[in-house]
Amino acid sequence: MSCSSSLVASAPSGMAATARVSPAMVGSSSFVSGQRLCFKMNMMPSSAMACPTTTRRPSFIEAKVVTRRENRTARHERIRKKVTGTPERPRMSVFRSNKHLYVQVIDDTQKHTLASASTMQKPVSEEFDYSSGPTVDVAKKVGEVIAKSCLEKGITRVAFDRGGYPYHGRIEALANAARENGLEF
């Protein structure tokens, strides 16, 4: 479960409010329904309501749990609005899974992949044993491979698309290795 989630409260008058919910707010009066947290709230007495003939009824607050993958995808969409690949300066896109790293150099105007490298290719997979997933050293090797592949095809400048991942660890190592081997970004 994520540390934060968006919250929609439905009031009796049909108005909705938005807030943030932390796991500490989930108490004994809450329950999880699918991917939604539901909170039960006590209402004010019916005499204090706008219409005194209505009965007292509890209201529920539903909070949608936002996963880490959804957060990363939203960050990636924001980045993609700003970073585009052209024939002169294609976009270098990074995808990181639990087992592999993938890098593509993409011309977005023609929607073609110009070069690619991953941990599944022979130069990387034969050199390293990364059974528990790619490490920083493996990411450096993938950065070297993509830089060599780009330079062979005449690509010297790229726009770096980190794919919504923080610029830290494996992503940073891959970018630095590509820079050291001749790519400009």
Residue 52: what pLDDT?
Answer: 56
Model confidence at 45: pLDDT above 90: no
Distances in Å between the alpha carbon of 87 and those of 73, 149, 178? 26, 16, 19
The pLDDT score that the predictor gives to residue 59 is 72
Could you tell me which CATH class the domain 72-180 is placed in? alpha beta
| 157 residue type, one letter | R
What predicted TM-score, i.e. pTM, was given to this entire model? 0.65
Residue owning tokens 């585009």: 84
Residue 49 clears pLDDT 60, i.e. is over it = no
**What residue ranges of the chain are covered by domains with CATH 3.30.420.100?**
72-180
**pLDDT given for residue 60 in this prediction:** 73
Residue 69 Cα distances to 65, 165, 173, angstroms: 12, 10, 22
96-117 confidence digits (pLDDT tens): 999 999 999 999 999 999 999 9
Enumerate residues 6+ apart whose C-beta is below 8 A from 58: 40, 41, 42, 43
Checking if the pLDDT of 37 tops 50, the result is yes
